[in-house]
Amino acid sequence: MISFLTSLLPSWLTSEAHSQPPLITEKTVCDYDSLRSMYPIDDFLSRLEDIVGLPQRHFEVLYQTPIRLLACRLQHTPSTKRIGESLLVERLDQILLGMKYRESFIMPSGVAPEDIGLKRDLWRYATFFSLALCGLGPAVTSFDVRMGANGKNPETWNPFGKIPDIGTNIEYHHSKADDDLSSLLLAQLIFSPSSLGWLRQGDGAFSLSLATICSPSTDTLLGKVVCYALGVKDPPKQVVEPEATAFSARNHGQEFFKWLKSGCASHAEEIETLSMEIEGALAFKSPDIFYAYANLVGVGWRTVKNGFNKLEVHRINRNKPASSDFFIMPGPDKEKTKWLVIELHHFGLAQQSSLPSKERPDFLSWLKSSISDGALPNSSSNPLFVENNGYFHLVVPGIFKEFCRSFSLDEKTVEKEFLGLGVHLKNGHSDYFEFPCGNKTLIIIKLPVSAL
C-alpha cells in the first residue's frame, strides 16, 4: 500500500527527498557576544586556558582572538556529521579533544630532552592551529549561504569574503564541497600574521601544520593527534613529510642517543627495564629500545635505528659470516635475544665491570696458568690453541668463549681489551690469521710465547 502511494508522487519530489537533506531553517547573523550566549564558547575557552597554561594576555592574543573570528565566520553553519548541531560546537569539541590528546606526546619528533620545555608552547599552538583549520574549508563550502533570502534575488555569500552584516537573514542550502586546500584560505582570515610568523620559527612547525590541514596522516605525530580528534578513520598514507627536511634520520639517531644517555644518568624506568651492564659496556634490548623512543616522539623505529647506526658508536658483532649490529646474548630473564652494545666510555662512564675486582680475572694470567696446568680443553679436532714456531695460535672466538664461560663476561669485550694490549702479532692491518688445521681453516690470533 505504501509503495503504491509513493508511486503516485512526482518523481522529482521523491528523488529530491533521497538525494539531499531538506532546506536549513533561516538564521540571522549575530555578533560575537550573542554567539557566546548561544554556544558554549566561554566554557570552551576556560578549559582550553587550563590546558595551555599561558599568561592571560598571551592567551587572549594567540587563542581567544582566533576563536572569536572562527565563531563569527562559522555562525550557524550546520554540522555535516552531527544532525541538528552547529559546526562551531562540533569544531570546539574536536579542538578540546585534540589538545588534551596532544599532552600525551612530546613534540616535535626527536626533540632533545633539555629542549622539551622550550618547544612545548610552540607545538601546542601548532596543534591548535591544525585542529582549528583541518577539513574546515570543505565543511564550510558544502553550503550555499544565501543572504537576504526573503528578497527576490538573494545574494550568495562567499565564505572567504567579508562576514555578512549583523541582522542579515541567511539560509543554508546544501552544495558541493570544495577541496581540502580551501582550508588554507581560512588561515589568514582567522589567524593573525604575528601568530603565523611565530609558527614559522620552530622546527618545521608551520610547514607540518599546513600539510596536516590539507591531508592529515598518522605518519606524523601531529597528524595522528588531528586524525584522532576529528575522527578520521582511514587517513591517507604519507604523501609529504615536512619533518624529513627539518629533521634527518641522522638527527633522529643523535637525539635517540641523547635520550639514552639522559635516561641512563637519571635511571629512567623505561630504559633500565630494557638494558643491562656487561663487561665494559651497556647492552640494550633491540629493537625494543628503538620502539620505546620512536613511540615517545612519533617516528618510525627503523628511521631512528638507521640514524643511530650512522653515529658508529655501537659495537659490531663480527662473529657471523656477515657482520651485525646486534649480539645474541641471554638477558636477565636468561632468554637469548638481540642486544645493542655500546661501550661505557660513550656514556662518560669509567670502564668498569659489574664483577668485584677480586673476582675479575685477567685473560693473560688465566691463559698462562691454563696452558701450564693443562687445564685448557684442547682436542685435535677442536683446538682452542696451537703452539707453533714460538707462537701460541689462539683460536677465535673459541678461546675467549672458554674464558668467559665461567665468569659471565662478554667475549667480544674481552677480545677487544686483549687486542688493545698490543702484545699479539699483526697481519698487516688485521689482527687475525688463517691457519690450516686438518680439513678446516681456523681464524687465529698469534701470541708470542714470550708474552706469557
- Domain ranges, ordered by start, for the chain: 19-245, 248-347, 363-451
Which tens digits make up the pLDDT trace of 328-343? 877 777 777 888 888 7
Which tens digits make up the pLDDT trace of 402-416? 887 766 677 777 888
Q: Is 196 exposed, middle or buried (0-12, 13-18, 19+ CB in 10 A)?
A: middle
CATH of domain 248-347: 1.10.10
In 3-state terms, what secondary structure has residue 153? Answer: coil
Residue 150 scores a pLDDT above 70: no
Considering only residues 266 and 209, tell me which one the structure prediction assigns the higher pLDDT: 209
In CATH terms, the fold of domain 19-245 is: Hypothetical protein af1432 (1.10.3210)
Residue 106 scores a pLDDT above 60: yes
Give the C-alpha distances (Å, rounded to integers) separating 227 from 131, 162, 219. 9, 30, 11
Q: Grid coordinates standing for 149?
A: 533570502
Considering only residues 359 and 300, tell me which one the structure prediction assigns the higher pLDDT: 300
Instruction: Give the whole-number percent of the chain exceeding pLDDT 90.
Output: 6
pLDDT at 240: 38
Residues contacting residue 157 through CB under 8 Å, at least 6 positions apart: 145, 146, 147, 164, 170
Q: How many alpha carbons lie under 13 Å from residue 288 in its C-beta half-sphere?
A: 12
Written as one string, the DSSP assignment of 406-448 is TTT--HHHHHHHHHHH--SBPBTTBS-EEEEETTEEEEEEEEE
Which tens digits make up the pLDDT trace of 152-211? 566 777 777 777 778 777 777 776 655 567 788 888 889 988 888 888 876 678 888 888
The average confidence (pLDDT) of the chain is: 75
Cis peptide before 193 (omega within 30 of 0): no
The answer to whether the Cα torsion of 220, 222, 226, 231 is positive or negative is positive
pLDDT at 129: 94
Other Cβ atoms less than 10 A from the Cβ of 181: the count is 12
- Average pLDDT for 283-309: 80
Which tens digits make up the pLDDT trace of 313-372? 888 776 655 567 777 877 777 777 888 888 777 776 544 444 443 355 678 888 888 887
pLDDT at 36: 87
pLDDT at 94: 92
- Average pLDDT for 88-107: 88
Q: Name the band, by pLDDT with cuts 50, 70 and 90, for residue 281.
A: confident
Q: Grid coordinates standing for 209?
A: 601544520
pLDDT at 64: 92
pLDDT at 432: 84
Considering only residues 147 and 42, tell me which one the structure prediction assigns the higher pLDDT: 42
Q: What is the 3-state secondary structure (H, E, C) of the chain?
A: CHHHHHHCCCHHHHHHHHHCCCCCCCEECCCHHHHHHHCCHHHHHHHHHHHHCCCHHHHHHHHHHHHHHHHHHHCCCECCCCCCCEHHHHHHHHHHHHHHHHCCCCCCCCCCHHHHHHHHHHHHHHHHHHHHHCCHHHHHCCEEEEECCCCCCCEEECCCCCCCCCCCEEEEEECCCCCCCHHHHHHHHHCCHHHHHHHCCCCCHHHHHHHHHHCCCCCCHHHHHHHHHHCCCCCCCCCCCCHHHHCCHHHHHHHHHHHHHHHHHHCCHHHHCCEEEECCEEEEECCHHHHHHHHHHCCCHHHHHHHHHCCCCECCECCCCCCECCEEEECCCCCEEEEEEEEHHHHCCCCCCCCCCCCCCCHHHHHHHHHHHCCCCCCCCCCCEEEECCEEEEECCHHHHHHHHCCCCCHHHHHHHHHHHCCCECECCECCEEEEECCEEEEEEEEEHHHC
Considering only residues 70 and 9, tell me which one the structure prediction assigns the higher pLDDT: 70
Q: Name the band, by pLDDT with cuts 50, 70 and 90, for residue 68.
A: very high
- Average pLDDT for 16-39: 67
pTM: 0.49
Cα gap 303→308, rounded to integer Å: 9
Residue 259 scores a pLDDT above 50: yes
Q: C-alpha dihedral over 224, 230, 235, 238, to 10 degrees?
A: -40
